[in-house]
């Protein structure tokens, strides 16, 4: 049998693409050597959010007195948190397998080696195909001096069933700050070491400063412009030496290395002649096609965004093009969401982007502390920011605060559809809600704020 499409990798790009291809009447097979759902389901988005749901609830219970509620003897059971997380992950895996079966996708739980443009070796079988989708995902980056036994990455952190007394988080990006939020909720002393000028180095400074202040209030030590000099095993954990303005030596029970991920590009792809960029990512065009006409790539392997929701859209775009329906990927309004406290959600251009591109822009900002719904939640940290060009077209939106990740979608639509400030503000927003903050920030951008 010759398949219309063979997919390598069962993560958010691969399984979504396989299902959509089957819905378009293509004969599809998919191979996954580990677990269905890829990084997101197994060691990324889903287990992280399961952990953070537990820590958020614990935080709310500890702060119950603000709401007139008395609670005593609150404690955690790390083993039960882990067991709950494992149940959620397993349910998602089984759900993906069910969907593949439902959509008549043939699947292999085995490693696939690409032999040529139209065939692969999967276990002891040869699979032939017309089109190939590469969606093998990525793996955590490791480097010296962290090549020491027992150091955790995001792939291993969920194996913990005891709360460490103190934890070093190396890297203040998304994974680092989310894990720092979780562990600092409990009796764990957390230290973040970041080599750049501030945590969340790809985001605007106002976002980073807001989160920095809240993390410090949680008791987290944050060192920026910090370089790790050495890591050695100690009697109980690790001895770490790093320097900022001064040389610092500290001991930690556990270390989480969270400095990014690298695409899973192996020798078979290199031998095939798939073009790679200087970081080792598979190069794709706006149709998700590689330099080889019948081969496409989606998700982390192309290194563009390394976000599950982007991976899924890329997989769909690839399949649409395979089926003859010309479709282009649109990265203009990619949502980015971070599940810290406060939550952070952005889409479109940042101020850093616009300054770098030399674009004149208008900024509207509204503080979370002035929003009625936020006050009812006893939440003061955060803001919303709306950026627009001189014609009033909305270029970017940032929300920092409670439920920011849930209310961002209005901003995604506004940016992607090219809304103006006037178009967004004319819609009646429900009161009292967090979503009102976008209306308030837009009014500020127009120079006519009501509640500021």
Alpha helices in 165-224 (DSSP H): 174-185, 205-217
Catalytic residue among 104, 356, 427, 431: 431
pLDDT of residue 430: 97
pLDDT of residue 235: 84
In angstroms, rounded to a whole number, what is the distance separating the alpha carbons of residues 9 and 280? 18
CATH level 2 (architecture), domain 2-140+262-322: 3-Layer(bba) Sandwich (3.50)
pLDDT for residue 452: 85
φ and ψ of 339, to 5 deg: -100, 50
3-state secondary structure of 413: helix
Q: How would you classify residue 202: left for phi > 0, otherwise alpha for psi between -120 and 50, otherwise beta? A: alpha
| pLDDT mean for each 10 residues of the chain (452 residues) | 97 98 98 96 96 96 94 93 97 97 96 96 94 97 92 95 96 98 96 97 97 97 96 93 94 96 95 96 98 96 96 98 96 98 98 97 97 95 97 98 98 98 96 97 96 86
Is position 104 annotated as part of the catalytic site? Answer: no
Report CA-CA distances (Å) from 167 to 134, 141, 177, 200. Answer: 36, 19, 12, 19
Q: Which two tokens stand for residue 33?
A: 């050597």
Q: What is the C-alpha separation between 19 and 15, in angstroms, rounded?
A: 6
Give the phi and the psi of residue 145 in degrees, each rounded to 5: -95, 25
Q: Which helix (H) or strand (E) holds 5?
A: strand 2-8
pTM: 0.95
Instruction: Fill in the DSSP letter of residue 358.
Output: T
Q: Do domains 2-140+262-322 and 157-257 have the same CATH topology?
A: yes
Return the domain boundaries, the chain.
Answer: 2-140+262-322, 157-257, 336-445
Cα atoms found within 13 Å of the Cα of residue 121, Cβ hemisphere only: 5
C-alpha–C-alpha distance, residues 290 and 279, integer Å: 16
| Fold of the 336-445 domain | Enolase-like; domain 1 (3.30.390)
Rg of the chain over all Cα atoms, to the nearest angstrom: 23
The yes/no answer on whether domain 157-257 falls in CATH 3.40.50.2300 is no
Beta bridge partners of 134: 8, 297
């Amino acid at each position: 049998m010759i398949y219309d499409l063979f997919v390598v990798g069962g993560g958010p790009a691969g399984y979504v693409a396989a299902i959509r291809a089957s819905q378009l009447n293509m004969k599809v097979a998919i191979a996954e050597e580990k677990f269905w759902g890829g990084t997101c389901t197994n060691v990324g988005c889903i287990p992280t959010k399961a952990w953070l749901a537990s820590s958020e609830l614990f935080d709310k219970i500890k702060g119950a007195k603000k709401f007139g509620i008395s609670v005593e003897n609150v404690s955690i059971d790390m083993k039960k948190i882990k067991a709950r997380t494992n149940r959620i992950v397993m349910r998602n895996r089984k759900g993906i397998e069910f969907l593949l079966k439902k959509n008549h996708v043939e699947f292999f739980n085995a490693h696939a080696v690409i032999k040529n443009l139209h065939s692969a070796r999967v276990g002891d079988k040869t699979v032939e195909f017309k089109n190939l989708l590469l969606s093998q995902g990525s793996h955590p980056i490791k480097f010296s001096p962290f090549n020491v036994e027992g150091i955790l990455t995001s792939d291993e952190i969920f194996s913990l069933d005891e709360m460490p007394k103190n934890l070093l988080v190396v890297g203040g990006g998304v994974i680092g700050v989310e894990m720092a939020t979780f562990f600092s909720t409990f009796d764990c002393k957390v230290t973040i070491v970041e080599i750049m000028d501030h945590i969340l180095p790809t985001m605007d400074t106002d976002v980073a400063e807001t989160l920095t202040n809240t993390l410090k209030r949680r008791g987290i030590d944050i060192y920026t412009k910090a370089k790790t000099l050495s890591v050695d095993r100690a009697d109980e954990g690790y001895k770490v030496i790093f320097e900022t303005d001064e040389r610092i030596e500290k001991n930690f029970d556990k270390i989480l290395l969270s400095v990014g991920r690298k695409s899973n590009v192996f020798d078979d792809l290199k031998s095939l002649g798939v073009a790679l960029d200087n970081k080792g990512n598979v190069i794709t065009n706006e149709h998700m096609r590689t330099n080889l006409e019948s081969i496409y790539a989606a998700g982390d392997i192309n290194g563009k965004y390394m976000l599950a929701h982007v991976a899924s859209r890329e997989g769909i775009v690839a399949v649409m093009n395979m089926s003859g329906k010309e479709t282009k990927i649109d990265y203009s309004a990619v949502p980015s969401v971070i599940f810290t406290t406060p939550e952070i959600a952005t889409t479109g251009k940042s101020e850093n982007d616009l300054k770098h591109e030399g674009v004149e822009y208008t900024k509207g900002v509204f503080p979370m502390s002035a929003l009625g719904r936020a006050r009812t939640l006893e939440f003061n940290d955060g803001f919303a920011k709306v950026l627009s060009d001189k014609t009033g077209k909305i270029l970017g939106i940032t929300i920092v605060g409670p439920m920011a990740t849930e209310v961002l979608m209005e901003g995604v639509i506004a940016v992607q559809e090219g809304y103006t400030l006037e178009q967004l503000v004319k819609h009646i927003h429900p009161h009292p809600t967090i979503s009102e903050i976008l209306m308030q920030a837009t009014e500020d951008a127009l120079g006519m704020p009501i509640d500021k």
